[in-house]
Amino acid sequence: MSYHDPVLLRESIDFLAIQRDGVYVDATFGGGGHSRAILDQLGDAGRLLGFDQDEDAAANQPEDPRFTFVAGNFRHLKRFLRLHQVVEVDGLLADLGVSSHQFDTADRGFSYRFEAELDMRMNRSSGQRASDILNTYRPEVLQKLFSEYGEVRNAKTLAYKIAEVRTRKPFQTVGDLVTLAESLSKGQRMRYLSQVFQALRMEVNEEVEVLEELLQDAMEVLKPGGRLVVIAYHSIEDRIVKHFLKTGNIKGEVQSDFYGNIFRPFDIVTKKAVVASEEEVARNPRARSAKMRVGARKNGK
């Protein structure tokens, strides 16, 4: 099995509008599929930086003098670019969510299919595990994250049941959570478990906050005309990207200066979200929920 089958590969490369001598960022390197396609379009003077906080991804980096692997979270984009003497970039691609490799590696705890420690950290060297969240969050906080991140219909029931169960036995393994969730799934086991695990994963990795920080940094480092290409798999993330491209902030609040000039930092390249073709979905089911949005940085900072 491949590390990861890149989603919307042709479309993302086309929308990056790659210049042969440009500087580009692949904020979610993973298996390197998108990065290799970008390198194919670059000339000898071009440069690509690939970010990934998962130590497993480092093994996939190409032996190419134009490529720099950054072992870090893309939420620190601007800081790492300065570290590598990069001030501005011509384009940035971010394919959000979890890689196939992470889902399919049993001991990472991302999937309900495998018995493992309830971890779910993309960066296993820091941060709280999924089990920590289940064992320490107040039930009302658990309810909010299951409702917002997982769209779990009975989020309140699930949250308070977790709080009850953990008083007898703390959550430690995937099986501990699956056993409880299955008892509340009401005949929709796979969908329900997927929603529950997604919500926990997003909280563990602070995916919403991280995305907000990436977008803000991207707006500051993109050259005028530089392309921002983001592929999202969750309605919350897609909405954040849509709002940011339109208004420069995640809430979609229109801002204007003293003279009433509206702040619009990007030209919207994709009026509607780009989705995968039926052929791609048949080949790679993960692409089914993918939505890609693209903006071009306007002049001025």
| pLDDT higher than threshold 70 for residue 179 | yes
DSSP string, 139-200: HHHHHHHHHHHH--TTHHHHHHHHHHHTTTS---BHHHHHHHHHTTSTT-HHHHHHHHHHHH
Please provide the average confidence, as pLDDT, over all residues in the chain.
92
pLDDT digits (tens, 9 = 90+) for 260-269: 788 889 999 9
Q: Which of 112-126, 189-203, 281-295 has the lowest mean pLDDT?
A: 112-126
| pLDDT higher than threshold 80 for residue 105 | no
Domain 124-204 has CATH 1.10.150.170: yes
Instruction: Give the single-character DSSP code of 2.
Output: -
Cβ-in-10-Å burial (0-12, 13-18, 19+) of 1 comes to exposed
Rounded to an integer, what distance in angstroms lies between the CA atom of residue 295 and that of residue 23? 17
Q: What would the CATH number be for the domain defined by 9-100+207-297?
A: 3.40.50.150
Count of positions (residues) in the chain: 301
The residues, any chain, with a CB within 8 Å of residue 91's CB and separated by 6 or more, are 16, 17, 18, 22, 24, 25, 222, 226, 227, 228, 229
Domain ranges of the chain: 9-100+207-297, 124-204
**Both structure tokens of 40:** 């194919």
Q: Which of 35-39, 65-69, 115-119 has the lowest mean pLDDT?
A: 115-119
pLDDT digits (tens, 9 = 90+) for 6-59: 999 999 999 999 999 999 999 999 999 999 999 999 999 999 999 998 888 889
pLDDT for residue 3: 54
For CA atoms 54, 62, 80, 230, the dihedral sign is: negative
> How far does CA 95 lie from the centroid of its chain?
6
Single-letter residue type at 21: D
pLDDT for residue 176: 97
Mean pLDDT of all residues in 86-98: 93
| pLDDT higher than threshold 50 for residue 1 | no
Cβ-in-10-Å burial (0-12, 13-18, 19+) of 83 comes to exposed
pLDDT for residue 120: 92
Mean pLDDT of all residues in 207-219: 95
Mean pLDDT of all residues in 124-135: 92
| pLDDT higher than threshold 50 for residue 284 | yes
Q: Are 50 and 77 in contact (CB under 8 A)?
A: no
| pLDDT higher than threshold 60 for residue 168 | yes
**Both structure tokens of 220:** 């500051």
| pLDDT higher than threshold 70 for residue 99 | no
